[in-house]
């Protein structure tokens, strides 16, 4: 499950902090059906800095609301041969829940097979360690007067994001029938970084989709324009062209939860978790933790009776954005 946690960390740093992204040309998501009514289209779009500061504020509020929800996570990885064909497919299923504010994904099955009691106990022990480490990181940053996300990763403020890259070409579309503002993003490869996390943002190109009513990041696409490493590649090693597409789904009110993450490329996480092909992460079976009431249901690989469920939708193709 380490690879999922690290991918989530990358997305938090590169998307959720203030929110760059991208993988496809933005125009592919803005066909005729996505256009808004003329009366709405003519309304002025807020200045980009103001919009991003609104997102920064509402993102924190959204994270607090998300703690009340659980959901199922299905991860599929396709390892490709030199001809670009899938030569091996691996799957993993987990239940995502917040413990002491820390979002964890507890593995329940690998390749369609539920964990053995021994494997399940090992997973629980690892979760206890992960939660303790996240809480310790939060406490250390708080003692230094610095903000962090629920997992204890330092947050990069919007003011700093705007120094590391440029948001441009604001436009309004309809996404899932909701007015949404789209911004293109391009990191500045010459910007001086203060830490390695800022290097992730500096090396991204893409676009972000912001729900206009809730001021929440609801979609992000991105690809890396350069090879990128943290800890000389021992912690993270992302190859040029690695791309991803993140989407959130609206649950109720101003609550949004992760829906899908599609990606393609080469990367290594620590010394043993390697991505070399296509991956897809799909969430489903959203429930409010306090009531255990299903909000939105969806298929999953392993049903409660351990019977196979219908296949997941085909992954979205990702490719670097076309030049404007």
Question: Mean pLDDT in the chain?
Answer: 76
Of the chain, the percentage scoring pLDDT greater than 90 comes to: 37
Q: Identify whether 316 is part of a domain.
A: no
- Give pLDDT, residue 73: 94
Q: Identify whether 222 is part of a domain.
A: yes
Query: pLDDT tens, 270-306?
Result: 544 667 788 899 999 999 875 444 444 443 333 333 3
Identify the CA nearest to 175 among candidates 29, 77, 315: 29
Lowest mean pLDDT, pick from 21-30, 129-138, 202-211, 240-249: 21-30
Q: Identify whether 132 is part of a domain.
A: yes
The mean per-residue pLDDT over the stretch 75-103 comes to: 87
Highest mean pLDDT range out of 3-12, 72-81, 223-232, 265-274?
72-81
pLDDT band at 5 (very low <50, low <70, confident <90, very high): very low
Query: pLDDT tens, 22-72?
Result: 332 333 344 444 577 676 777 899 999 999 999 988 877 887 888 899 999
Strands 102-110 and 86-99: antiparallel
Tell me how far apart the alpha carbons of residues 228 and 302 are, in angstroms, rounded to a whole number: 36
Tell me the whole-structure pTM to 2 decimals.
0.76
The mean per-residue pLDDT over the stretch 183-203 comes to: 86
Give the rounded distance of the alpha carbon of 56 from its chain centre: 16
Question: If you search the block for the tokens 């090396």, which residue do you land on?
Answer: 203
Tell me how far apart the alpha carbons of residues 113 and 219 are, in angstroms, rounded to a whole number: 32
Q: Identify whether 62 is part of a domain.
A: yes
6 pLDDT above the threshold of 80 = no
pLDDT band at 180 (very low <50, low <70, confident <90, very high): very high
Q: Identify whether 307 is part of a domain.
A: no
Q: The tokens of 321 are what?
A: 């954005």
- Give pLDDT, residue 199: 80
Q: 225: which residues sit within 8 A by CB, 6+ positions away? A: 187, 189, 203, 204, 205, 240
- Give pLDDT, residue 231: 61
Tell me how far apart the alpha carbons of residues 159 and 294 are, in angstroms, rounded to a whole number: 38
Identify the CA nearest to 312 among candidates 68, 72, 32: 72
Tell me how far apart the alpha carbons of residues 199 and 321 are, in angstroms, rounded to a whole number: 20
Tell me how far apart the alpha carbons of residues 42 and 35 are, in angstroms, rounded to a whole number: 12
Q: Identify whether 134 is part of a domain.
A: yes
- Give pLDDT, residue 17: 36
195 pLDDT above the threshold of 80 = no
Tell me how far apart the alpha carbons of residues 286 and 249 are, in angstroms, rounded to a whole number: 10
- Give pLDDT, residue 316: 38
Domain of residue 171, residue span: 2-296
> How many domains are there within the chain?
1
Q: What are phi and psi of 245, to 5 degrees?
A: -135, 115
Q: Identify whether 192 is part of a domain.
A: yes
Q: Identify whether 160 is part of a domain.
A: yes
Q: 247: which residues sit within 8 A by CB, 6+ positions away? A: 218, 219, 258, 259, 260, 261
């Amino acid at each position: 499950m380490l690879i999922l946690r690290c991918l989530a960390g990358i997305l938090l740093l590169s998307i959720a902090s203030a929110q760059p992204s991208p993988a496809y040309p933005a125009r592919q998501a803005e066909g005729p059906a996505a256009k808004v009514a003329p009366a709405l289209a003519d309304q002025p779009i807020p200045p980009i800095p103001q919009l991003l500061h609104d997102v920064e504020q509402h993102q924190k509020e959204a994270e607090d609301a998300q703690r009340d929800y659980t959901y199922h996570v299905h991860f599929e990885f396709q390892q490709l041969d030199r001809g670009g064909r899938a030569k091996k497919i691996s799957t993993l299923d987990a239940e995502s829940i917040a413990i002491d504010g820390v979002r964890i994904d507890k593995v329940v099955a690998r390749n369609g097979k539920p964990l053995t009691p021994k494997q399940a106990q090992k997973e629980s022990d690892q979760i206890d360690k992960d939660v303790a480490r996240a809480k310790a990181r939060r406490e250390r940053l708080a003692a230094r007067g610095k903000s962090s996300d629920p997992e204890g990763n330092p947050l990069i403020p919007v003011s700093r994001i705007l120094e590391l890259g440029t948001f441009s070409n604001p436009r309004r579309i309809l996404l899932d029938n909701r007015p949404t503002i789209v911004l293109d993003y391009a990191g500045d490869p010459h910007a001086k970084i203060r830490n390695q996390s800022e290097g992730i943002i500096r090396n991204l190109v893409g676009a972000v989709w912001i729900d206009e009513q809730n001021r929440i990041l609801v979609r992000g696409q991105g690809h890396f324009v350069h090879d990128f490493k943290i800890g000389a590649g021992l912690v993270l090693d992302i190859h040029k062209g690695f791309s991803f597409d993140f989407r959130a789904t609206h649950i109720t009110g101003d609550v949004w939860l992760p829906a899908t993450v599609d990606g393609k490329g080469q990367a290594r996480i620590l010394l043993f978790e390697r991505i070399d092909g296509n991956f897809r992460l799909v969430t489903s079976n959203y429930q409010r933790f306090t009531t255990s009431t299903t909000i939105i249901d969806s298929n999953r690989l392993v049903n409660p009776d351990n019977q196979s469920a219908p296949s997941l939708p085909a992954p979205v193709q990702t490719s670097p954005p076309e030049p404007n």
